[in-house]
A and B are shown apart, each in its own frame.
Chain A
């Protein structure tokens, strides 16, 4: 089983700050990377996908991928209390477009007003 690692947190940031969430993975062949947000008691919701090295921005969210370092990160700018949730990093195993997702255990983010 390939591994995806995240710091479980909690990561606490004040409202309006930048939250930085990190993820490392062990499978060098993986090509697809995803960030899901999961509120307590709810199912994971896709917020970002990234397939190429570099940055990808979508609103307040920026995903960063470094395949050489096997590292994925998610930046949340202007953090809001509504961003408080668990953020799951997921890596698609292998080079397939349809392979299984391997998840980290998630990082709990707390945004304090």
Chain B
């Protein structure tokens, strides 16, 4: 039973560039949430996707956008990268129809901005 998978593992970009991060949810899960975790901090919610639509959004600028595909996988796009975007980006999946369920995290993508 595959867990949540994210790619790439590490990424180095320069300021102003754009980046796309990918996530495949755990088998049987249909909801994907993205979080940003800066060093020494807890994860911060970016947004959540369900049925290919953004359902909730945290306090992040429009430079952060996403997409969910029919197979429930998801992408996180960040435009006009800033030094402050350097962080661990975490994808978490859960199942909408299974009542009160926790979110399970992937291994994350570590993004470094030079």
From residue A64, how far is it (CB to closest CB) to chain B in Å? 17
1/0 per residue, CB under 8 A from B, across A44-61: the answer is 111001010000000000
With A49-B102, A97-B101, A98-B94 in contact, do A44 and B58 touch (Cβ < 8 Å)?
no
| In contact, B104 and A46 (Cβ under 8 angstroms) | yes
The list of the 7 closest CB pairs from A to B, nearest first, reads A103-B42, A100-B45, A43-B108, A43-B105, A97-B100, A105-B42, A49-B102
Q: Which residue of B lies closest to A44 (CB)?
A: B105
B73 within 8 A of A: no
Which chain A residues lie closer than 8 Å to B33 at the CB level?
100-101
* CB pairs A–B below 8 angstroms (21 shown): A1-B59, A32-B102, A43-B90, A43-B108, A44-B43, A44-B105, A46-B103, A46-B104, A49-B102, A90-B42, A98-B31, A98-B48, A98-B50, A98-B96, A100-B45, A100-B56, A101-B35, A101-B45, A103-B42, A104-B42, A106-B42
Q: Give Cα A90 to B37, complex, Å.
A: 13
Which chain B residues lie closer than 8 Å to A45 at the CB level?
105
How many contacting A-B pairs (Cβ < 8 A)? 59
Which chain B residues lie closer than 8 Å to A49 at the CB level?
102
- Report whether over half of chain A's contact residues are helix, strand or loop; otherwise say mixed: loop
Q: Which residue of B lies closest to A33 (CB)?
A: B102
Q: What class of interface size applies to chain B in its complex with A?
A: 20 to 34
Q: Which residue of A lies closest to B57 (CB)?
A: A100
B residues near A, CB below 8 A? 31, 33, 35, 40-45, 48, 50, 56, 58-59, 88, 90, 92, 94, 96, 99-108
Of residues A43, A88, A103, A105, which shows the largest number of chain B Cβ atoms within 10 Å of its Cβ? Answer: A43
A102 within 8 A of B: yes
